[in-house]
Amino acid sequence: MPDADLVRDQDRLRTFIEAHPKLFVLTGAGCSTDSGIPDYRDTDGGWKRPQPVTYQAFMGDLRTRQRYWARSLVGWRRFGNARPNDTHHALARLEQRGHARMLLTQNVDGLHQAAGHRQVIDLHGRLDEVRCTACDNHLPRGAFQQMLVERNPAWALLDAADAPDGDADLDGRDFSNFHVPPCPACAGVLKPDVVFFGESVPRERVDAAITSLNDADGVLVVGSSLMVFSGYRFVAAAARDGKPVAAVNLGRTRADPLLALKIERSCADVLAFIA
């Protein structure tokens, strides 16, 4: 028999979507857990593991870069092969029906686009690109993976548990002999083309998101605790403007007092009605 509570929650969300045909959709890590990508936070919004590397540490310390790229070499094998799940496909269908004017994602996995979603702003960038911090040269992450493996063949034989955003748990290892390739164009420092903690989101992305939010008549949050201000600020702005906000998320969100509707269930389960 169908789960009566689930059906009721789906009906509540369906009513919200139908009442707001120009939705601004904001997504987080909870969208991608069913694709095998771990999330950062527990149901209370707290960190499950040590906080991610900061921009200042990555740029200022070779040892931090060695540790980051060694773990990424191992983690990329599965992260780079992740595929969209039912949540990504449901949101793409929502867009196809004309109910989602823009999707702003805090994720860096590109899975919304892989599911066919067209209007996407990658607020924190994409992990499938590597950028030189000196000359702005860009490399596909797959090509950089080959560079890492060629210079560190022994590390390519390792395996480890997955961590969020293409990371892998390799604690306790000595990273001092790991060779980090420089930029092939200028020998500068390469970093993933994502926004690290302590780094600012590019202004053009924020402006584009604000423009889309101003055009929307409601906000749908999917799979985000909104604990990071870069995402929370859009919900706060919507609330200030009197635009209703609905959230589908397992556990507490930073915006709980601002929500017109909250459903604490698996994203894929609740969105399954968008067929």
Contacts made by residues 184-187, CB under 8 angstroms, sequence distance 24+: 184/137, 184/139, 184/147, 185/132, 185/135, 185/137, 186/132, 186/134, 186/135, 186/137
Rounded Cα gap, residues 101 and 158, in angstroms: 43
Among the listed residues 89, 124, 138, 179, the single catalytic one is 124
Dihedral sign for Cα 227, 206, 249, 115, please.
Answer: negative
d(CA 65, CA 2) in angstroms, rounded, equals 50
Catalytic residue status for 99: no
CB of 213 closer than 8 Å to CB of 219: yes
Sign of CA dihedral 257, 261, 263, 269: negative
CA distance 114 to 250: 24
Residues marked active site are found at 124
